[in-house]
Amino acid sequence: MKKFIVAIDGLKYSSNVVKSAIDLAKQSGAHVVGVFLDDVTYHSYKMYELVEGEGITDRKMSELGERDEQLRRTSTAEFERLCRQSDISFSVHHDRNIAIHELFHESVYADLIVIGADETFTNFTENKPTRFIRDLLAETQCPVLIIPDEYNSIDKIAFLYDGQPSSVHAIRNFSYLFPGLTDKKVEVVSVDTKPALKPVIPQAMLIKEFMKRRFANTTYVPLDGIPENEIIKHFQFEKNTVIVCGAYRRGSVSRWFRPSMADTLMQELRLPIFVAHS
């Protein structure tokens, strides 16, 4: 049985992310672990709440701390309720050290991390991709599925393919993790930056042979131009589609997920993005 982690901020609980993880786990027959990153350095209250009125007191610290604990208990209970309602196998982890380090450690023992695109695990909001998401993508030990603000069931899978091993590795990982989606519509999208006459799919014979063994309904979309621009134009009106791509790590870079492409995909598109390291 595969193990899917859903990374949860118990102080800013996202039912959208939890429901997406449950939906995909149910289709894949996976066990879901709700990893509540209860970082002891992270609180829901702001500094002004501590200092206003009578100033910082033990009583006020205790009250605000208890408020946070109650929020976290409520979030845990809601996660457990949804899992039981969906009749899936699940468990709960409460990790209390630095959030990003805890998630790195959890990723060693997981098949997939599901996380919201806007997660920060701080009091602050940030533009996408957040620093937390950037750090996670750089060092995770398993694939990551980034969920947008609104998640819908997947009807189509789009693989970004540049002929590099990392993009093929991402296809292989996705097909292993989600065998229940192999009957969906599939696109293999490639951007030729210097077409001689018309854009071509790199290593076309090999990738078509590879895809044929995994997906029943695949079309190939060769584009030409600047990858960031062409990818956004191609997907800007898409719905119910997941984008699959390879990622950068330790100097080994697929051009599909160099930092500029990562920024562009998450800033401009409201689609789930699956990222797998090679």
pLDDT digits (tens, 9 = 90+) for 9-47: 999 999 999 999 999 999 999 999 999 999 988 887 765
Average pLDDT in the chain: 89
57 falls in which pLDDT band (50, 70, 90)?
Answer: low
Residue at token pair 């023992």: 109
Query: Backbone phi, then psi, for 78, in 5-degree steps?
Result: -70, -40
**pLDDT given at position 99:** 97
Q: Hey, what CATH topology would domain 3-147 get?
A: Rossmann fold (3.40.50)
Q: Hey, what CATH topology would domain 156-276 get?
A: Rossmann fold (3.40.50)
Domain with CATH 3.40.50.620 in the chain: 3-147, 156-276
Q: Is the pLDDT score of 247 beyond 60?
A: yes
**pLDDT given at position 195:** 73
Euclidean distance between CA atoms 11 and 109, whole angstroms: 25
**Which among 32, 28, 31 has a CA at the least distance from the CA of 179?**
28
**pLDDT given at position 58:** 65
Q: Is the pLDDT score of 48 beyond 60?
A: no
pLDDT (mean) for 129-156: 93
